[in-house]
Amino acid sequence: MNIKSVLLKNIFLLFLTKLSGYLLPLLAIPYLARVLGTAEFGNFAIYQSFALLASIFIEYGFSLSATRSVSAHRSDANEMANIFQQVNSAKIILSGVLFASVGLVYCFIMSGENFKAITGALVYAFAIGVAPAWYFQGIENLKSYTIIDILGKAISLLMVLFIISTPNDGDLVMYLLATGPLIASLISYKIAGKSITRKPFSFVAGVNGLVEGFSMFVFRAAISLYTVANVFLLGLFAMPAITGFYAASEKLVRGASSLIAPISQAIYPKMSFLVKSDMRGAIRLLHRTLFVLLVTSFLSSVVICFFAKEITFLFLGAGYEQVSSVLAILVWILPLIAAGNVLGIQWMLPLKLDKEFNSVVIFVGVFNFFAVFFAAKSWGAHGVAVVNIISEFLVIALILFFLRKKNVIPI
């Protein structure tokens, strides 16, 4: 199979994975919004946001750093075993630190909070964070992983639909959402173990993995400050129902933006190779990718904005009318995310401009963090949506600044 065919196949498989990761949990949202009610749905959104933040701590950016390492050393069996050991040992260390830290905070500061919901959020974070997608992406063999991943998410969806029936069941949702991904990860690790020499847990190897992947962790952590963290931050100031309104619109928009990731993740190894061997070919690939993503994301924004009220009613039902006005604002981040993804991940990282890219996301993340605090207090969900758009504009502006400074604007 030639390189182009492999690339297209990986894009398709990653698209299926992301589509299932978007659609299957999204299918549960209309049901949960109706069954749990606005207040309990808002509480669920806050705990889920916390879980997603915690999962980023466990995942540590290995989807980028470890994928790059695996792709570069796929023909070296010993090095592949070392990478596998480093990443998995690092995730065990991170999981232990996370669980211990949250346990201490709960005991001494948050003893009045819902212990069952917090524990469920941690289990869900672990289930997402330990997934070995990085390995299968690195070796560009995604067929079995994609099937298993989709089946795992389908199991969780079915469990939610059949078990959750009243607002009192809200604390169980996280456990159910975690079950399928945990099963999928166990099976995927079993498959991966057949093609590499498995080494036991090593604290030293784990620390080495943390050191090597630190720059990408900083990137993922910083970018989460203006993506995943917004619902959690809004929940600190707003009533659960208001938080639920914003969370619902963000799930629609962020879910749609996540469909960019399959193309990004599949092209990333190819782009990393081309910038070293064929710069003109790399620029051509970048131009084509940018054109396709900008056109599709802009058209999607137009459609969603125009039919925001109808989409809101169809998706959430009665009682969530305020979501449509937030959705009509927030949806315009789609083309901005597409441009930032291509210029940042697909261009700056292959050029080894990790430090500059991290500077961009750290600055924007800190800006968004404080801006959301102010906006949430003053303007609620609508203010947070506007801050999102400003943050994505800042990402593109700062990326172009650094590319011009390094004289590597892809033209």
- The per-residue pLDDT for range 111-160, each reduced to its tens digit, is 666 788 889 999 999 999 999 988 887 777 777 888 888 889 889 999 99
Structure tokens at 223: 């970018």
Structure tokens at 80: 């592949």
Pairwise CA distance, residues 124 & 107, whole Å: 20
For residue 2, pLDDT beyond 70: no
What mean pLDDT, rounded, does the chain reach?
85
Provide the pLDDT confidence category of residue 87 given band limits of 50, 70 and 90.
very high
Largest CA distance in the chain: 60
CA 183 to chain centre: 20
How many angstroms separate the first and last alpha carbons of the chain?
31
pTM to 2 decimal places:
0.78
Q: What is the pLDDT of residue 54?
A: 92
Burial 130-158 (b: 16+ CB within 10 A, else e): bbbbbbbbbbbbbeebbbbbbebbebbbe
For residue 1, pLDDT beyond 60: no
Pairwise CA distance, residues 90 & 202, whole Å: 9
φ and ψ of 316, to 5 deg? -115, -25
Cβ neighbours of 321 (radius 10 Å)? 12
Q: What is the pLDDT of residue 182?
A: 94
Q: What is the pLDDT of residue 7?
A: 60
For residue 95, pLDDT beyond 80: yes
Mean pLDDT value across residues 288-314? 89
Phi-psi domain of 317 (left: phi exceeds 0; alpha: psi -120 through 50; beta: other):
left
**DSSP letters spanning 61-93:** THHHHHHHHHHHSTT-HHHHHHHHHHHHHHHHH
Structure tokens at 97: 């630190």
- The per-residue pLDDT for range 188-244, each reduced to its tens digit, is 999 888 888 888 899 999 999 999 888 788 877 877 777 778 888 888 777 788 888
Structure tokens at 183: 């099963």
Provide the pLDDT confidence category of residue 163 given band limits of 50, 70 and 90.
very high
Who has greater pLDDT, 161 or 1?
161
Provide the pLDDT confidence category of residue 109 given band limits of 50, 70 and 90.
confident
Pairwise CA distance, residues 220 & 31, whole Å: 31
φ and ψ of 379, to 5 deg? -130, 5
Distances (CA, A) of 61 to 64, 66, 125: 6, 8, 14
Residues 364 and 394: beta-carbon distance below 8 Å: yes
Cβ neighbours of 123 (radius 10 Å)? 17
**DSSP letters spanning 14-46:** HHHHHHHHHHHHHHHHHHHHHHHHHHHHHHHHH
Phi-psi domain of 21 (left: phi exceeds 0; alpha: psi -120 through 50; beta: other):
alpha
Place of tokens 């960019």: 260
Residues 299 and 52: beta-carbon distance below 8 Å: no
Nearest Cα to Cα of residue 210 among 54, 61, 82, 361: 61
For residue 16, pLDDT beyond 60: yes
Q: What is the pLDDT of residue 18?
A: 62
Structure tokens at 252: 């629609």
Nearest Cα to Cα of residue 53 among 98, 90, 15, 115: 98
Structure tokens at 283: 């620029």
Provide the pLDDT confidence category of residue 14 given band limits of 50, 70 and 90.
low
Burial of residue 108, with CB atoms counted within 10 A of its CB: 0-12 exposed, 13-18 middle, 19 or more buried: exposed
* Helix and strand numbers, DSSP H then E, in the chain: 17, 0
Pairwise CA distance, residues 358 & 52, whole Å: 20
Pairwise CA distance, residues 110 & 321, whole Å: 33
DSSP state of 344: I
